[in-house]
């Protein structure tokens, strides 16, 4: 890994990336290639062990405002990161957690949902009806919309604790990330959502 001040080319690429963000443009192939080359040069540490060093699996929402590694003080190779819309414990998340524990040796689970989640702003019935009207097909899955992220994290913890397939069901910690303050608020199974 190389240290020191960023080269003029890297600085220019960072400026370009910032401008594209402001323009709200999708990532281009060229940007991806450039950023990958910079990352390999500046940050890649070589091959890491397959098993997560911190023996932790994180289940989180896909929201782009949540920088999971930075929030938890993690480095590459520390934890499995499993993300989906809402950070919901679906069958596929459970599949990943089972493999994480039984094949990769993780022993703890961290759940992170957040305030201002997109799933709190849509209706399950409306979304399903719109898809069926547009495609002629009804989705075979649930979007699992919700209103209260604290209640939803508690439900997710309960789901995991009831799964007979997980080896480690006691070391589960849940949080709600406040997108306005950047703070993680721990969720207790007994506590209600913090008052505003």
- pLDDT, tens digit (0-9, with 9 covering 90-100), for 150-169: 999 999 999 999 999 999 99
* Domain map (residue ranges) of the chain: 8-42, 56-187
According to DSSP, the residues that pair with 172 across neighbouring strands are 109
* DSSP alpha helix (H) spans, 25-172: 29-42, 68-72, 91-104, 124-135, 149-162
Tell me what pLDDT residue 190 has.
77
Kindly state the percentage of the chain with pLDDT values over 90: 82
pLDDT in tens, 96-138: 999 999 999 999 999 999 999 999 999 999 999 999 999 999 9
In contact, 95 and 103? CB cutoff 8 Å: no
Q: CB count, 10 Å around CB of 134?
A: 8
* Topology (CATH) of 56-187: Beta-carbonic Anhydrase; Chain A (3.40.1050)
Q: What is the pLDDT of residue 189?
A: 83
């Amino acid at each position: 890994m190389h240290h020191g001040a960023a080269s003029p080319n890297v600085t220019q690429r960072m400026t370009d990336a910032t401008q594209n963000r402001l323009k709200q443009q999708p990532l281009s192939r060229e940007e991806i290639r450039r950023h990958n080359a910079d990352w390999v040069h500046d940050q890649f540490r070589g091959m890491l062990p397959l098993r997560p060093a911190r023996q932790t699996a994180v289940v989180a929402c896909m929201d782009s405002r949540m920088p999971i590694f930075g929030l938890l003080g993690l480095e590459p190779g520390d934890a499995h990161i499993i993300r989906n819309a809402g950070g919901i414990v679906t069958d596929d998340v459970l599949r990943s957690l089972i493999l994480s524990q039984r094949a990769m040796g993780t022993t703890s689970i961290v759940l992170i949902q957040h305030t201002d989640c997109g799933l709190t702003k849509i209706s399950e019935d409306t979304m399903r009806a719109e898809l069926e009207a547009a495609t002629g097909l009804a989705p075979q899955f649930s979007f699992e919309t919700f209103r209260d992220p604290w209640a939803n994290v508690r439900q997710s913890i309960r789901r995991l604790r009831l799964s007979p397939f997980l080896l480690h069901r006691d070391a589960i910690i849940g949080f709600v990330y406040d997108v306005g303050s950047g703070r993680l608020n721990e969720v207790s199974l007994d506590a209600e959502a913090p008052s505003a």
